[in-house]
Structure 1
C-alpha cells in the first residue's frame, strides 16, 4: 500500500504481534550506526568514535530490528540499498526528540515500493504519536517533502510502556526510562539471549526509576545505555565520572554481562572518550565505549 493514500495504518500494541519473516537460526548481532546524543558532530576530532546521532541495528532470528532513527539511520539505509530482495524490518523509537528521529527523512529504503517497515513508539510529551512526530518533521518549512512520498509500506504501532510484544521468535519488553522525556527502553529476548537498550538515563535515579529499569536489564547479555550529562551547556570534563557512573551502577546491580556506553556528548572528542574507556574499565571490566561500525555478537565471548 502506497503512503500516497491516506490511511489509518496505526495500531495499539498490547498483545503479541506476529511476523511473516522466515526464521534463520544461529545469528544474533548488534551494529552501531550512530552513537552521539543531541546533535551530529562531524569533525576531525570525532572520526574514530563517530559523529552520527543514535541508531543501532540488531539482527536476530532472521529478522532486522532498528533502535532509534538518528542520522546513523541514513548511513544504515545506504547499505540496505545494495540488497536486491524486498526488505522488511522493525524500527523502534525511544522518544520523539530530534536526535532520535532526524535520520528518518533520509532513510532511502523507505522510498522503495516493495519494502515494508513496522514503526513503533510511544506518545510524546505533547501527546503526539510516533506517526505524528515523524510526519511533522517532514512538513514545510522543516523539510521539502512530506512523509507520503515514501513509497514503502509503513505500518505504525503505538506502544504502551510496560507491555510485551512478540515478533516471531523474539520477545520485546518495554518500560519507562525517563518520565520527563516520555522515553522508553527495550529488552529484546531470543531463546536464552537478551539485549537491553536504555538511552535516556538520569544522572541520579530514585527508587521508582530503579524499579522500572532493573527488571528490564536483569542478567542481559548486553546492555546499551547512555552516558549522562546536563545538556546542552554546562558540561565540564572535570566531572567525567558522571558520564559513566549511572550505567555502570545499574549494570553491576543487574548482573549485566557486557555494557556499552553510547549517546556521547557533542563535546566528547576521541581522546576524551579514550580516557573514559580506560577509566571506566577499572570499575566494570566488561565495558565498551560505543563507536560507529562496532559489531557485537551475542552469545560469543569477544
Structure 2
C-alpha cells in the first residue's frame, strides 16, 4: 500500500541562522525516525515530497533543511509550502535564531567558515546579510527557537519533547544523566542508579555505553540490577497511568549514575522499552551526557 492510501506523514522544515543549531536539530529528528534531507533547494521541495510519497516504502516522518546555503531560492519557500499543502501535507516551519554576539563567539570557537564567506564578506557582514535574507522565513515560521542561551543537550531536549512526543495523551521521556553535572530540573521522577554494580571498573566496558550489548549483558547478569528494574517497572506501571490528565502532556523519568554513560543509560533504554511493550504509544529517550 502506498503512502497516499494512508495519512500524510508529518513534514518539518528546518531553517534559520547558520550556527544556531540546525544540524543538531536534523540529527535529532533522524534519531526520532524522521527521513532527513539537508540543504534542499526550496523550488525542489514539492517534487521531492511528491516522489517520496509515491514510493512503496514512504517514510512515516520527514524533516528537510532549507537555509542560506540556497540563498537564491529562499523567496520560493512560501510558494513551495503552499504546493506541499496542496498535496495533503501540513508542513511546519521550525526556525532557529541566535543573537549576533553568540554567533560570532560560536564561529570563533569552532573556526568554521560561514556559508556566505565565499562572497568575500567578513564574518559580521555575512551574518548580517544572512539575517536579512532569512527575515521572510522567520516571519512565516510556525515556531522560532532562540538558541542563544541553550547548549546542545537543551536543543536536543526541545526537539524531543516538541516533535518526538506528539502531546496526544500522556507522553513519556526517559532521560539519563550524570549526578556530577547536576539533576535535570525538568524531571518528574528521579531514580538513583549509583547503588548498582558499575561497568566503569571493567576496562573492557569502560569505553562503551549502556546502549552497547557488552554493558547490557554485564548489568543483566547482576541480581541487584534485575531486582532494581523489577521494582521500578512496578512503580511506573502503578503510577504513570494515574498521571494522565487533560492538562498534562508529558512526564520525564530520569535515571542518574556517576558518569551518565553506563547504568543510567541502560536503565533509561530498558524502561522505555518496557513502557512501549506495555502499550504507551509516545515514548522518547534522551541521554544527556551522550547526545
Q: Common fold, TM-score beyond 0.5?
A: no
Q: Which structure shows the higher helix fraction? A: 2
Normalising by structure 1, report the TM-score.
Answer: 0.32
Q: Which has the larger radius of gyration?
A: 2
Normalising by structure 2, report the TM-score.
Answer: 0.33
